[in-house]
Amino acid sequence: MALLPPLSFTGASVLCDDTLRLQPLSIEDGYIGHGRFPEVDLSGYMILPGIIDLHGDAFERHIAPRPRAPFPIRSGLSSAARDAAAHGVTTAWFAQCWSWEGGLRGPDYAEELLTEMQAFEAHAPIDIRLQIRCETHMIDSRDRLLAAIRRFGVDYVIFNNHLPEAIEIAKKEPLEFAAWAKRGGRTPEEFIKVLREAKERKSEVPRHLWQLAEAFDTLGVTYGSHDDPDAETREQFRILGARVAEFPISEKAAAAAKAMGDPVLMGAPNVARGGSQSGNISAQKLIERGLCDALVSDYHYPAMIAAVWAMVDKGLCALPKAWAMVSANPAQIMRLSDRGTLERGKRADFVVVNQATREIEATVAGGRIAYMSGQAGQRLAQADHRMSLAAE
């Protein structure tokens, strides 16, 4: 995809310095510029920083829309990236499990996915990366995991421990457990054996995590924990160095994270729907109490902008603060100083939102059109066409 030519977008309300202002926004060579260039009239629109999504697993359904109907990984990645772009995402971490579950969530598949991502990323409409969701009891795969992280430049790992949940399902929901085992290519008997063997190695887990943490610190990997049930668990991971608290399931866990200066991530669908689909704590409640720093797409890309408008309409916060939870704050969490705001010299990552309908009509990632529709899309396309003719 070619870079947009030097342009100045005029007539739009631009989110800059935490304020919506009626001012031009210029881009040049894929970055926010400061010159006066040929103009594109975007009256009636808002220009907002591109969305930075730190955790999304919707890509799984693009690759395997049904558990037994997988498509080629490359086509799934392409579809997922376009889906993300259509909903304003300019930087996305696809959340891939490194788990005892096997199948699409096991190490073999994770390595295959990383290989395909590496080949596809130069052609992707947005910046795509991988978050590894590492099950804490995957002790024997530590060297393999670190080798994959080094080889593919993985920069984000989240620790999960879904073992207690899996064992509980095995006891109380045998049909659901059998389906889960089948997705991983196992019989229920084989799967329960895997879980029991993992559980028996509980005493080895702390040392295993310390060794991973030391390696992550050396490699510059950002890491955190998922579904912390209480303050004690969050403190244990914080001591380990796992600073990001992803989806804490109690207010005490979230409050502990904030007290220790650790960022709290919650799912945008939780906000957009008015509650957690799994019955955990309401993200809105945490936002009201100042205990949530950033929102992620989780399993549904449209939820990101829907959550922003839900926060605004409910009076939880004004648009600049709400939008920072999907742009500036995630950039700070991942130490990405080149994006997240529309400041001069930063990447030209932004979305064009219709003020009347609140719909995203264009997404620009790194100065390239990743998605466009509606009147805004037509204006961008016409400007690009005029510039191409002028160059000829």
Residue 392 is predicted with a pLDDT of 47
Contact 198, 163 (CB under 8 A): yes
3-state secondary structure of 265: strand
The contacts of residue 20 (CB under 8 Å, 6+ apart) are: 13, 14, 46, 319, 320
Residue 28 is predicted with a pLDDT of 96
Residue 277 is predicted with a pLDDT of 61
CB atoms within 10 A of CB 132: 27
Residue with tokens 């704590």: 281
Phi-psi label, residue 131: left if phi above 0, alpha if psi -120 to 50, beta otherwise: beta
Residue 147 is predicted with a pLDDT of 98
The contacts of residue 188 (CB under 8 Å, 6+ apart) are: 170, 174, 177, 178, 181
Handedness of CA 329, 333, 335, 339 (dihedral sign): negative
Element holding 245 (H helix, E strand): strand 244-246
The contacts of residue 197 (CB under 8 Å, 6+ apart) are: none
> Which residue, among 319, 317, 343, has the nearest Cα to 331 in the 3D structure?
343
Contact 158, 96 (CB under 8 A): no
Domains parsed from the chain with CATH numbers: 7-49+342-391 (2.30.40.10), 51-333 (3.20.20.140)
The contacts of residue 288 (CB under 8 Å, 6+ apart) are: 316
**Which regions in the chain score pLDDT beneath 70?**
1, 275-279, 384-392
Residue 388 is predicted with a pLDDT of 57
Residue spans of alpha helices (H) in 55-96: 59-63, 73-86
Element holding 287 (H helix, E strand): helix 283-288
Q: Are strands 31-32 and 25-28 parallel, antiparallel or unpaired?
A: antiparallel
